[in-house]
């Protein structure tokens, strides 16, 4: 008579509900982890883009520095380059020399 109370008949329902509960807890924990790490990942991506932009700017500045230092070296050490610049920029010419200037072609 009391043997029926030792083994409940709806044990499979309780087992199924427990499995569903564990699954829901796991999914909720996974969603919380995503919500916690997603802003960090977005910030890292933003910083990577900023770093790439800064690296490009550094490369441009290095190129500009190399050009200017080469020009400075030529100005300090090469009298022919200094003469060329003076004749070009200041319209200086040697005696008996004629300078012809041509305008650049109009852009289309």
73 within a domain of the structure (yes/no):
yes
Cα 5 to Cα 11: distance, rounded to the nearest angstrom: 12
Considering the domain boundaries, does residue 21 fall inside one? yes
Q: How far apart are CA 55 and CA 80, in angstroms?
A: 37
Assigned domain for 3 exists: no
Average pLDDT, stretch 70-84?
A: 91
* End-to-end CA, the chain: 105
pTM of the model: 0.52
Q: Is residue 100 part of a domain?
A: no
* 90 secondary structure, DSSP code: S
Q: Is residue 94 part of a domain?
A: no
What's the domain range around 33?
Answer: 10-89
Q: Tell the residue number behind the tokens 């890292």, with chain if given.
A: 44
Q: For residue 77, count CB atoms less than 10 angstroms from its CB and return exposed for 0-12, middle for 13-18, buried for 19 or more.
A: exposed
pLDDT tens across 18-73, in order?
Answer: 999 999 999 999 999 999 999 999 999 999 999 999 999 999 999 999 999 999 99
Q: Residue 99: inside a domain, yes or no?
A: no
Number of structural domains in the chain: 1
In this prediction, residue 3 carries a pLDDT of 55
Between 35 and 91, whose confidence is greater? 35
Residue 54 lies inside a defined structural domain of this protein: yes
């Amino acid at each position: 008579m009391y043997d029926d109370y030792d083994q409940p008949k709806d044990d499979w329902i309780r087992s199924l509900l427990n499995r569903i509960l564990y699954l829901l807890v796991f999914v909720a924990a996974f969603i919380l982890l995503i919500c916690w790490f997603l802003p960090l990942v977005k910030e890292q991506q933003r910083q990577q883009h900023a770093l790439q932009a800064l690296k490009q700017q550094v490369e441009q500045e290095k190129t500009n520095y190399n050009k200017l230092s080469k020009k400075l070296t030529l100005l300090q050490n090469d009298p022919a380059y200094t003469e060329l610049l003076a004749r070009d920029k200041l319209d200086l010419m040697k005696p008996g020399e004629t300078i012809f200037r041509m305008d650049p072609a109009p852009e289309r």
